[in-house]
Amino acid sequence: MISAAASMSALGLGLGLLLGAAARRFHVDTPPIVDEIEKLLPGTNCGACGFPGCRGAAEAVAAGNAPVSLCTPGGRDVALQLAEIAGPECGGGAMVATMAELEPTIAFIFEDHCTGCTKCFKRCPTDAIVGAAKQIHTVVPDACIGCDACIEVCPTEAIVRRVKPRTLSNWYWEKPQPGFGATETGVPA
């Protein structure tokens, strides 16, 4: 009995030490830029960019394997912040310019197509979908980041992406265009 316990603990201790030593010996320094980039990303690990979570995306951006505009939930602001850190050689600059036109989108569930399978509910990285088994599900607009993860898993294609509806609190006047020389027939300013 004692000999068995002693041998097992000796084995454990030896392997532990080996692991510890290996961790020291083969330690790989992650460049600090990866941490910085990860901090800017939404951190929801939604997978919309195709990389394994925000960490993976950060590593890809740091290595120059992905454009700075890869994060759709983050939108243009995140892309601009990333571009500031990653520098122009990262690529994707042209993409940022087109991102300006993009309105934020969120998921929307057609209730008459929803079967209450809870697949989207389980998949949502921010708990933005409310529902239960065999109950109609719905999206909480303020919590949804528009990562489209739920759209992929829905078996009845009841989920679509929609432009986030404007509310009184985030509505604002459009930018006045300087329509110099515009006539009655032309575009009004």
Least Cβ distance, residue 149 to other proteins (angstroms): 12
- Are residues 33 and 50 in contact, defined by beta-carbon separation less than 8 angstroms? no
Least Cβ distance, residue 27 to other proteins (angstroms): 25
Of the candidates 77, 103, 101, the residue with the CA atom closest to the CA atom of residue 162: 103
Least Cβ distance, residue 160 to other proteins (angstroms): 20
Q: Which is nearer to other proteins, 16 or 166 (CB)?
A: 166
- Are residues 69 and 95 in contact, defined by beta-carbon separation less than 8 angstroms? yes
Amino acid in the structure at residue 4: A
Tokens representing 94 are 């042209």
Least Cβ distance, residue 123 to other proteins (angstroms): 11
Between helix 32-40 and helix 53-63 the angle, nearest 10°, is 120
Q: Which is nearer to other proteins, 113 or 162 (CB)?
A: 162
* Angle 137-143-147 from CA coordinates, rounded to 5°: 85
Q: Which is nearer to other proteins, 115 or 141 (CB)?
A: 141
Q: Which is nearer to other proteins, 28 or 178 (CB)?
A: 178
Contact set with other proteins (CB under 8 A): 42-45, 74-75, 77, 104, 125-128, 142-143, 145, 166-176, 178-183, 189
